[in-house]
Amino acid sequence: MNTRTPTRSWRLTTLSTMLASAVLAAPAHAAVSDTDILNDSKTTKDVVSYGMGPQAQRFSPLTQINTKSVKKLVPAWSFSFGGEQQRGQEAQPLVYDGVIYTTASYSRAYAVDARTGQKLWEYNARLPDGIMPCCDVINRGMAIYEDLVYFGTLDARLIALDRKTGKVVWTKKLGEYKEGYSYTAAPMVVKGKVITGVSGGEFGVVGKVEARDAKTGELVWSRPVVEGHMGTLNGKDSTMTGVKNATWEGDQWKQGGGATWLGGTYDPETNLIYMGTGNPAPWNSWTRKGDNLYTASTLAINPDNGEIKWHLQTTPHDGWDFDGVNEFVPFDMKKDGKVIKAGAKADRNGFFFVADRTNGDLLGAYPFVSKITWAKGFDLKTKRPIYNDEGRPGNPFDPATQGAEGKGKPVFSAPSFLGGKNWMPMAYSPKTEMFYVPSNEWGMDIWNEPVTYKKGAAYLGAGFTIKPLYDDHIGVLRAMDPKTGKIKWEYKNPAPLWGGVMTTAGNLVFTGTPEGFLKAFDAQSGKELWKFQTGSGIVGSPVTWEMDGQQYVAVVSGWGGAVPLWGGEVAKKINTITQGGSLWVFRLSQ
């Protein structure tokens, strides 16, 4: 700077000071912060996390669309994912800075103008021929942090894209797809780290939870969820998971399963990630003695170092592929004049669990489907099921009960392995203090048979046929009181429910059906108030936000997922439902 011209120098200094303070006061562009994610459930102008908040209550405080006005809800626009790649669309959209970010089948990602439905960019992951997704080519959505969006692919990679351009910033391998690893969940960002699990429980993979630096993708910690495996922290061994061979025999823990195939939840009050783990491998429980920790469990994990703080195993020694991955939703339970820091999980095994989220103490285990054959109930003190021994498929290694071709005696089991509730997320309203649980009424004939582990091959040792329990319905949306386990209302649907649920302060509950309808119900009474036909089955999760003074609702439509692939007699009943792939956005008519 020229010191001989003081006037000019003063002007320059003032200008630079002004510029500096302007930069401090208003960032050059919007970027998603940790605070934005932690407050997501309260901020109505964006949806920056899977679950509409890291606790995944899927509750919005918005009231413009309510029990009175919902009859005026109409489409604002619809966007087609296009191409010939359809099948299941299980994503939950994110909304930020006037843009909707969503994924679609076959590992595709989109950014769409939230006001007009105009496509801003599209990213197609190039997939190898040998991918092994067990249950359709689905994806459940993205995470967003600062200027990046993140999603996982069917060949088990985690990809970070520039949210403005859709260009790849980094890619990390989560597992070897040739061994059966894949990835379909929506990632989660906790304190600047991207948290992921892995899919592949039907191939004898080992489940793990991992944290990566959100900016660089560098691995911070890894926590395998099967006893005996070693965790890592900052590139070094950290601690062993559990105690080797405490609940597994021999080397079975090496292909022990426990796939962490659904995203977790995070509670800032306890600073814990709650992650579910899938079935022990193989399905045939006669091949592996013991509880097989930590499969079929909810794990509470410290996000800073990957250490397991507590576990709640909801199906010890699982013999039905009940998994345990379903979301554990933190909520404050007002009971007997106290506020209990609780969490709830509607398990595949048919029980709705309420636990103390600080320590995993079991507070309640209530049936939420009409028929459960594998257990009579739970002992809350020991946290163990009271098994019905005759509900376990017969031992194929016992000559007394062995049938044709070395098969064990088949049993009829309810729920089926597709679960009293599968992956589709429930919602919790702090206003009605009720959970809204998408459930299904079905059972299965299941039998066990011998099996040996082969890398990259299905590792079940079981066969099955799924059957509906009732002629007129399979799906039931239920309003559950977590304090008592009582069901306040239920809505019965002919086809199985496979989409997520959302509830709002407008006293509404939204969910989609395979028949193609997005529906709204009165949160108190369960009365159906509104529906709209989207042209294909809905197996995605709705969201709501506020933009330009109006409340909007978005959902993806496109039938698919595990039911048409594995549904047995159920699949035959619903094979007339057509495929699709589109994003729908609604608002009240003017």
- Chain contacts with Ca ion (rule: CB under 5 A): 40, 43, 46, 201, 278-279, 321, 323
Longest dimension (CA), the chain: 105
- Partners of residue 365 on adjacent β-strands: 353
DSSP string over 568-586: THHHHHTTTPPP--EEEEE
CB hemisphere CA count around 585 (13 angstroms): 25
What one-character DSSP code corresponds to residue 164?
T
Query: In whole angstroms, how close is the CB of 51 to Ca ion at the nearest point?
Result: 11
Integer Cα distance of 373 and 356 in angstroms: 27
Residue 341 is encoded by which pair of tokens? 């820091």
Residue 374 is encoded by which pair of tokens? 């594998």
Distance in angstroms between the alpha carbons of the first and the last residue of the chain: 59
DSSP string over 307-340: -EEEEEESSTT-SS-----S--EEEEEEETTEEE
Query: In whole angstroms, how close is the CB of 185 to Ca ion at the nearest point?
Result: 14
What one-character DSSP code corresponds to residue 393?
P
Integer Cα distance of 445 and 568 in angstroms: 10
Q: Is there a contact between 277 and 256 (Cβ–Cβ < 8 Å)?
A: no
Residue nearest to Ca ion (CB): 43
Q: Is there a contact between 142 and 186 (Cβ–Cβ < 8 Å)?
A: yes
Integer Cα distance of 56 and 263 in angstroms: 10
Integer Cα distance of 301 and 297 in angstroms: 12
Nearer to Ca ion, 155 or 321 (CB): 321
Q: Is there a contact between 55 and 266 (Cβ–Cβ < 8 Å)?
A: yes
Integer Cα distance of 309 and 202 in angstroms: 27
CB-based burial label for 206 (10 Å; 0-12, 13-18, 19+)? buried
Nearer to Ca ion, 37 or 272 (CB): 37
Query: In whole angstroms, how close is the CB of 102 to Ca ion at the nearest point?
Result: 16
**Phi and psi of 452, rounded to 5°?**
-125, 150
**Phi and psi of 460, rounded to 5°?**
-115, -55
Nearer to Ca ion, 323 or 515 (CB): 323
Q: Is there a contact between 101 and 164 (Cβ–Cβ < 8 Å)?
A: no
Sign of CA dihedral 66, 434, 43, 166: negative
- Residue 226 in 3-state DSSP? coil
Query: In whole angstroms, how close is the CB of 390 to Ca ion at the nearest point?
Result: 23
Number of other residues whose CB lies within 10 A of the CB of residue 440: 27
Sign of CA dihedral 512, 517, 520, 526: negative
Active site residue: 136, 267, 318, 321, which one?
Answer: 321
Nearer to Ca ion, 380 or 505 (CB): 505
Examine the residue annotation and report whether 321 is marked as an active-site residue of this protein: yes
- Residue 181 in 3-state DSSP? coil
Three-state SS string over 136-154 comes to CCCCCECEEEECEEEEECC
Query: In whole angstroms, how close is the CB of 279 to Ca ion at the nearest point?
Result: 4
Nearer to Ca ion, 40 or 515 (CB): 40
Catalytic residue ranges? 321
